[in-house]
Amino acid sequence: MQKARSDQKKSHHGRGPEYKNKPSDPFNRGFTDNISSDDKDDYSQEIRRRIFDSLFRLKYKIRVAPQGEDLNRECSLFTEDLRYLIVGSATYFIDDEYHTSNPEQDFRNNESVQTNPRFMLEDYSIHIVDMYHGALSDTRTFKSDKIFLSHNQGLYLYKNTFAVLSVQHQTISLFAIDNGEFIPLRTIGRFCFEDDELLYSCK
């Protein structure tokens, strides 16, 4: 009688010693609420492997970046209505002859900075992805430029106004986002308004 009660107690509380130190999963989600970055055991590693798939489900899979460009995983902005996602991709030039043979690309105005070998110029593409339909809506390219995509340092979004900061050419390109498209508004740099260049040339 005493032995039977002991077995029942063991079955009720732990189902055996192998479950003694295993973290609880009260919501049956496949992972525990307490996983530390210092945990290196097999159970914690398995949780890290499965946690993304436990929270997210694949809805669409589309090709965004053109051939030869890589998406920056630290660059992403969402429109206010949460319909569109803005991401950036880039490719850097390996051959310096490209620059020497295309000075007009590297120096488009008198405020373009001298190229620095430590910060090679790149071709950039900024994309709008329609998350409702899983489709690429629009793309704007910036050739032979230097735009800091990581952590959205060179991209800014306020409501439906989108700005791109060019470090190479010292300009800010402003766009309106309308129905998933980039609508050019103006470029702020040497001149701020459309008629500034006309007034300057008349002096």
- The model's pTM is 0.67
Residue position matching structure tokens 């791109």: 164
Predicted confidence at residue 66, as pLDDT, reads 86
Predicted confidence at residue 12, as pLDDT, reads 44
| CA 158 to each of CA 9, 82, 85, 118, 163: distance values in angstroms, whole numbers, following the listed order | 61, 13, 14, 32, 9
**Amino acid found at 167:** V
Query: Using H for helix, E for strand and C for coil, what is the string for 63-82?
Result: CCCCCCCEECCCCCEECCCC
For 44-48, 73-77, 167-171, which range has the lowest pLDDT when averaged over its residues? 44-48
Q: What are the sequence ranges of the domains in the chain?
A: 2-55, 70-202
Give the model confidence (pLDDT) of 53-93 as tens digits: 888 888 999 999 988 899 999 999 999 999 999 999 998 66
